[in-house]
Chains A and B, each alone.
Chain A
Amino acid sequence: MTRLPFGLGGTDDGRDGDGDGDGVRTDSLRTGSVRTDGGETPNPFANVGDDIARKQLLGRVFVGICGASTLVGIVALFVLLGDVLYEAWGWVTLDFLTYPPSRFIENYYPDGRGAGIYPALVGSILLIALTAVFTMFLGVGAAIYLEEYAPESRLKSFIEANIANLAGVPSIVYGLLGLAVFVRFVGLGESLLAGALTLTLLILPIVIVSAQEALRAVPDSQRHAAYGVGATDWEVVRDVVLPAALPGIMTGTILSLSRAIGETAPLIMIGAATSMFRAPIEDVSGIPVPDLFGPFAAMPMQIFDWARLPEGDFQHVAAAGIVVLLTILLLMNATAILIRNKYEK
């Protein structure tokens, strides 16, 4: 006999589904139905009151455990942010934003000669700007192919399964890919461009999936209307689908970029400097131009460098760096949410 849930029928093994292991209900139900000899029938509901109380208690304990578990994650988030803010308190100054890093902790003190995160901040911003340009074109292009052009075929499902798998590849493996292909094979060296290309490949799967969702949200009636007035595939995409999907695409891309800005491991693998004294900007006859082919430092690399230093106060410097990084992250996420809310119907 197979076991039914909640102790209906089945064996009297005490596993009656209410989790208290007493099998009370199974027992009482069966006793009630089996006795036919007219003898003294024990009241089958004698224990029901206890049973209900026990179940109510069990239910309350269970909700308590589940609710407490939910709090674990939330509390952890606030403790983490609180810890970072506490350690960084008083260390994020204007000097910190505008000076290059230093090996000597004295320079970071308010009355010191000034030291900070400036080259890494500029490096990170340029890195993300470049990555944004690459991913917008490649990610949106791929999403348009998959949603607007590709017929339902083996090839399409293969490409989509492949994208799903790429999203699960550890970022450090992308670093090895960037090291072998961009840094060594193409010969870009440990440059800003190599870093941006590596990060592009890293976030491309996420960008494609979110852009696909945005494209899918455009109602087919709009496409049909455009086709009806004689538009070609490309005209439909360019004039109808893309404008309608753009806010969604922007939101997804910015959220993906905010993942890229915190990535450290791939940059370490391509050999990016952990600490640089100069921002990756060149002066071309007085005009500052990003130095795409030169070395660079990025904020997470710089934070890693500080966090490893044994001298105690460098912990505060690392925390200050994290505050700057998280602020930029927050700004990016806020932008994404603003765009979404503005255009969401």
Chain B
Amino acid sequence: MSGSSDVADLTRAGSDIPAGRNLAVRGVFFACALLTVLTTFGIVVVLFDGALGFFREETLFGLLSGVLGGVLAGSPAEAWAALRTGLGTQVTVREFLFGVEWSPIIRPRSYGVLPLLWGTMLIVVGSALIAIPVGTATAIYLSEYADRRVRKVVKPTLEVLAGVPTIVYGFFALSFITPIIQRFFPGTGTFNVAAGAIVVGVMIIPMVSSLSEDAMSAVPDELRNAAYGLGATKFEVSTDVVVPASLSGVMASYILAISRAIGETMAVTLAVGMQPNITLNPLEQAQTMTAYMVQIGISDVSVGSIGYQSLFAVGLLLFVMTLGMNLLSLWIKGRYQEAYR
């Protein structure tokens, strides 16, 4: 602060000139950011609304409009009646979660989601059996052994695998993998779990390898050098120092990859088929939750029918599962992350 009083105080000068426009622009940008929150909100509302329509007689909005109609008409009895009938049970949650028959469209109808869940689990287990060992070993190779030039070429090449549209993997399963399986196991059908699990496994290799490699590369060289100083071999450094030190990132990559396998749609629709089936035989056909949704999507079920509503019940289950996995991976990363410096 200068003491001379003949110099004008300019500290706040001009701050009011474009304030209005500044604020408006800020508002527009804020609205864009808010849209992402609205998207999440929209997904949750849409899924709950539709799923309520599946489990009860009315959807959430149907229920609200019925009750509001009664209230506006000044008749609490009418509103109560709308609520009572709207909340009448169509499918019990217990039947949905524990029933072993899934046939919401074809009579006799039954609404047990377990066969679809089983199909999804077969794909998840099968693809994880491929992607986790291969992806982890790839990550170790790229992070510990490969020289910089090799890594610079290999890493983007592997990431191309993740960029190939999933419909192409479906085609690949049908035109390449299944014929090979059929050669070794004659009698295998066009659609089978094994082909689906293999292509999904290949698809998620880059998720495991890329994210794990990032975690391994973040392990500081001091740790490696300390181990070398104790007489460890390169193999020992890789398996006993680098992998444990980056375990949180590696686990997070596994979970993200599994979450991707759960939500994978087109490859499993084309490769695994559309026959709900609880089986342990990977050469049989089955149906995943996502493939069921596609089946409804390409058939012409009418809006409001139980088939249409079942989309949202299955979609809700899918959303809850993948969201749970994603949150788990974030938690593991945050909880167990070793902070280096």
Contact = CB atoms under 8 A, between A and B. Distances in A.
Interface of A: 5-6, 8, 17-19, 55-56, 58-59, 62-63, 65-70, 72-74, 76-77, 79-80, 83-84, 87, 137-142, 144-146, 148-150, 158-159, 161-166, 168-177, 180-181, 184, 201, 204-205, 208, 230, 232-235, 237, 258-259, 261-265, 268-269, 271, 274, 300, 303-304, 307-308, 315, 318-319, 322, 325-326, 329, 333
Question: Which of B135, B138, B290, B312 has the most chain A CB within a 10 Å cutoff?
Answer: B138
B233 A55 contact: yes
A162 B36 contact: yes
A139 B311 CA distance: 29
B36 A166 contact: yes
Contact of B26 (A149, A163, A303): A149
Contacts of A181: 42, 46
A6 B236 contact: yes
Contacts of B157: 73-74, 77
B196 interface: no
A141 B32 contact: yes
Interface string B212-233: 0000000000000001001111
B161 interface: yes
A174 B33 CA distance: 18
B225 to A, nearest CB: 14
Contact of A170 (B202, B265, B312): B265
Nearest to A274: B298
Given A66-B141, A166-B36, 12 more contacts: A73-B205, A84-B172, A138-B35, A158-B37, A163-B36, A170-B318, A170-B319, A234-B21, A264-B266, A315-B175, A325-B168, A329-B165
Contacts of B165: 261-264, 300, 325-326, 329
A70 B143 CA distance: 11
Interface in B249-263: 256, 259-260, 262-263
Contact of A146 (B31, B33, B266): B33
A204 B36 contact: yes
B47 interface: yes
Contacts of A158: 37
Given A66-B137, A142-B36, A232-B18, A262 B167 contact: yes
A170 B161 contact: no
Interface residues of B, number: 96
Interface of B: 14, 17-18, 21-22, 25-26, 28-37, 39-40, 42-43, 46-47, 49-50, 133-138, 140-142, 145-146, 154, 157-158, 160-161, 163-172, 174-176, 202, 205-206, 209, 227, 230-236, 238-241, 256, 259-260, 262-266, 270, 290, 293-294, 297-298, 303, 311-312, 315, 318-319, 322-323, 325-327, 330
Contacts of B227: 5-6
Contacts of A162: 36-37, 40
Top 7 closest pairs, chain A to chain B, by CB = A170-B263, A262-B165, A141-B32, A69-B137, A66-B141, A145-B29, A168-B326
Nearest to A68: B137
B263 A171 contact: yes
B270 A150 contact: no
B202 A73 contact: yes
Contacts of B311: 176, 269
A333 B156 CA distance: 12
A172 B263 CA distance: 8
Q: Is the interface of A mostly helix, strand, loop or mixed?
A: helix
Contacts of A76: 161, 202, 205
Contacts of B37: 158-159, 162
Given A162-B40, A163-B36, A258 B163 contact: yes
A240 to B, nearest CB: 15
A208 B259 CA distance: 21
Contacts of B134: 69, 72-73
6 contacts: A5-B227, A138-B35, A162-B37, A165-B326, A262-B165, A315-B171
Contacts of B206: 73
Given A138-B32, A176-B315, A58 B235 contact: yes
Given A66-B138, A84-B172, A268-B294, A159 B33 contact: yes
A148 B264 CA distance: 35
Nearest to B205: A73
A331 to B, nearest CB: 13
Contact of B137 (A70, A137, A265): A70
Contacts of A308: 270
B175 A87 contact: yes
Contact of A262 (B29, B34, B49, B166): B166
A217 to B, nearest CB: 19
Contacts of A184: 303
Nearest to A83: B176
A232 B25 CA distance: 11
Residue of A6, A73, A166, A169 with most chain B CB atoms under a 10 A cut-off: A73
B30 A145 contact: yes
B233 A232 contact: no
Contact of A233 (B22, B133, B145): B22
Contacts of B172: 80, 83-84
